[in-house]
Structure 1
């Protein structure tokens, strides 16, 4: 099972591992001087657009650390950066024995413009409502809650598209060697395992500051 740790505890652990990891400090990615604890993936292309940072959160709906980061850590970042931050989740399962239903539902909701709403509903249902198996009845409640048509949603869910999107995301995570959830990827090639908000804010600010120097 993949390693996982909470974002609050990761700050101390990350600082203790500075010498060993060698990722803290500054690095050149393009013309921007990056600061913080991160790893630039040389085999991945940057997707950076001036004035905006794309945050990809590799997460498991059944992981309590992912639930906490999504509800607390991500909210801090969105408040800090507003529309300069574009956040999206990629499903990466690490908890064994779970059906892929939640991940497929999230992918289908994304295609219908309600990905963020469905993500919040799924995290709440699994971790706060303590519903581990999302059957058809629970699914319909959640579909209606986020404002989607159940018939259209089920039709899309029954197609191969959501399952393929989920599988593509899992393969992406395998390619960049995700070791724990949540792990964050910034602008396509800046991998961050120390996902406490202060470290992420430092990195993101340095990316945006670099735009101003170009």
Structure 2
């Protein structure tokens, strides 16, 4: 078995069967700090003045991130100009380094919107490994990206700086599992948190996360007035 296949996203609640039914301690409709979301001890600087910054910490190999992606994309479309979305591919050792570098290369080339979903599909559906640089280069060529330009960017100081920045952000935001959503540099939520708190899983946890995100965006807007 490919060693990368054995990597487990820590938000495993999404793949688990629903827990025994009962009265939930909280719900996405009335989220509580420490349950469906957390407040960071120190607010982090944000980009996108005039808008609410939403950051997704994710990884291409993560099956929960793959499942969450269409939900998040639809949610972002509905927000219109109220938010700005940033994605940060998390670090997870040498086996994920090529995937992380692939993400930041696409971002640097201005190709992320075009190819982000295709990378997810390549890994989870087509079973492209993305564990070695050459696997990434071959995929990029097949996808129609100029190979030499892609490799130059992949190995550039600019991408290396993005990798360092991603690691610093993971530490600053105290990212322990993914997908994890940060809002306005102050709040964190995730399908894992929502699922655990409400004793729900699957689609319920994903939809519940979007509800919590709606509330946190609204709160961030109100705080800025």
Counterpart of 1:42 in 2: which secondary structure? Answer: coil
Aligned-residue CA RMSD (Å):
3.5
Q: Is the 8 A contact 1:7 1:69 kept in 2?
A: no
TM-score by length of 1: 0.73
Query: Which residue number in structure 1 is paired with residue 75 of structure 2?
Result: 77
Instruction: For 1:150 and 1:159, locate their aligned partners in 2 and report how far apart those are by CA, in whole Å.
Output: 14
Q: Is the 8 A contact 2:43 2:186 kept in 1?
A: yes
Mapping of residues 170-185 of structure 1, within 5 Å? 170-185=167-182
Instruction: For 1:113 and 1:199, locate their aligned partners in 2 and report how far apart those are by CA, in whole Å.
Output: 30
Instruction: For 1:200 and 1:8, locate their aligned partners in 2 and report how far apart those are by CA, in whole Å.
Output: 21
Deviations 1:172-207 (A, max 9, x none): 212322121101111222211336212212222333
Q: Going by fraction, where is strand more abundant, 1 or 2? A: 1
Per-residue deviation, 1:2: 6.0
Could you tell me which runs of 5 or more consecutive residues in structure 2 were left unpaired when the two chains were aligned: 1-7, 195-205
Q: Is the 8 A contact 1:77 1:201 kept in 2?
A: no
Query: Which residue number in structure 1 is paired with residue 66 of structure 2?
Result: 67
Q: 1:4 aligns with which of 5, 11, 26?
A: 11
Query: Which residue number in structure 2 is paired with residue 127 of structure 1?
Result: 124
What number of residue pairs does the alignment pair up?
Answer: 195
Per-residue deviation, 1:109: 1.6
1:87 aligns with 2:94: no
Q: 2:183 aligns with which of 183, 186, 190?
A: 186
TM-score by length of 2: 0.70
Per-residue deviation, 1:80: 1.9
Per-residue deviation, 1:48: 7.3
Per-residue deviation, 1:18: 4.3
Instruction: For 2:75 and 2:48, locate their aligned partners in 1 and report how far apart those are by CA, in whole Å.
Output: 18
Deviations 1:86-130 (A, max 9, x none): 212111145x66241121111122112112333222111111111
